[in-house]
Amino acid sequence: MAQDVTDVNAAARAAREAHRDPRGRFGTQPATEADIDLAQDDQTDWRHVRVVVMGRSFTLGDVPGGRLYHGTARPLTPGEELRPGASPANHAQSAHDAVSLTSDPAVANFWARQAAQAQGLDPDQAVVLEVEPVGDVTPWRTCLADQGRSFDLLEARAPSARVLGPRTVQPA
């Protein structure tokens, strides 16, 4: 079985490369895509979860940049897991039993600065983290983006999230 999966993944990479548009005639395309593991998994990748925004159907992976972020008052290291209740909730409207995520680094930066101020810390030391959700992602606040071709995930909630690394956010 492992050999079959390896062969399928190799074939997928070869097909992807063969159909790439290196001259960019059909829009901007990355030189390579992330490797895809085609082996069956018990859990659906969060990027494939369907979302309907103002009557239009998307997947969570359709957010600009295809990444999710979390703002925090204190730095965390890649691989650490964010869990609900590990620190006081930043906002009264946020759930205390979930981790808040966003596709917009500026929104995560706002949350991080608010958390730092609430804890008596310097808001300029707040941190935006790129994260990978663990468990089901529940979209909470969304809006259309890119003239309706995409959407922004202003806030989503997940049971926990794994830190991938810090993200530098330019001041507004």
d(CA 163, CA 73) in angstroms, rounded, equals 14
The whole domain housing 26 covers 1-40
Low-confidence ranges of the chain (pLDDT < 70): 1-43, 86-96, 169-172
pLDDT in tens, 114-130: 988 988 999 998 999 99
pLDDT value of residue 27: 46
Residue 152 contacts residue 103 (beta carbons within 8 Å): yes
Same structural domain, 111 and 127: yes
Same structural domain, 87 and 18: no
Same structural domain, 144 and 126: yes
For residue 20, give the DSSP letter.
-
pLDDT value of residue 97: 82
d(CA 121, CA 87) in angstroms, rounded, equals 14
Residue 155 contacts residue 91 (beta carbons within 8 Å): no
Same structural domain, 29 and 53: no
Instruction: Give the chain's domain count.
Output: 2
Same structural domain, 54 and 137: yes
Nearest one of 95, 92, 66, 80 to 129, comparing CA atoms: 80
d(CA 35, CA 57) in angstroms, rounded, equals 25
In a domain, 172, yes or no: no
Q: Tell me if the pTM is above 0.75.
A: no
